[in-house]
Amino acid sequence: MQQYLLRNFSELAQKRAVLMREEAQLWDILARDLKREAGRREEAPVRRVLRVPVPQGIQQDQVKPEKLFVRVSEAMRMMGLGRSTLYAEIACGRLKVRKSGRKTIIAVADIQDWFQRLPERQV
């Protein structure tokens, strides 16, 4: 019986030692990755966010000031236009767009210029 227990404890101790080595390796990997990320963040240049004034007719909560470009769906919400009307404005050349791969993006500044060029009407 004692020999059986000694053998089982021996196997258990070996398995535990293997698990502890594996855990130590994982902690070493985590420590290395955290040091690397900390170094990367120290070397990274500080980015400044350009704040673009929101034109009249656009609610402040509809514009995220850190964005320079928006996709067509967000531009539709900002401008209060439908998709076909927005694309008609683009086709007429009144609104500039850019392509990033397959994405069509519109500069927030161009949306503001478009609003500034709209004629004022008395209702």
Q: In this structure, is residue 89 part of a structural domain?
A: yes
CA dihedral 60, 62, 66, 68 (to 10 degrees): -110
Distances (CA, A) of 12 to 5, 20, 22, 106: 10, 12, 15, 64
Are 97 and 105 spatial neighbours (Cβ–Cβ below 8 Å)?
Answer: yes
- Distance CA(103)–CA(9), nearest Å, equals 63
Q: What is the pLDDT of residue 2?
A: 82
Residues 82, 112 within the same domain? yes
In a domain, 107, yes or no: yes
Q: What average pLDDT values come out for the chain (123 residues) when binned by 10 residues?
A: 84 93 92 88 70 63 70 91 92 91 92 88 71
| CATH number of the domain bearing residue 77 | 1.10.1660
Q: Does residue 81 sit in the same domain as residue 104?
A: yes
What pLDDT was estimated at residue 39? 84
Instruction: Verify that 81 and 112 share a domain, yes or no.
Output: yes
Instruction: Say if CB 64 and CB 77 are below 8 A apart.
Output: no
Whether 51 is in a domain gets the answer: no
> Rounded CA gap, 42 and 49, in Å?
19
Q: Are residues 64 and 103 in the same domain?
A: yes
Select from 97, 43, 41 the least CA-distant residue to 74.
Answer: 97
Tally: H helices and E strands in the chain: 4, 3
Number of structural domains found in the chain:
2
Q: What is the pLDDT of residue 15?
A: 93
Domain of 24 in residue numbering reads as 1-46
Q: 33 with 6, same domain?
A: yes
Residues 112 and 65 in one domain: yes
Same domain, 111 and 67: yes
Is residue 78 within 8 A of residue 70, CB to CB? The reply is yes
pTM of the entire predicted model: 0.45
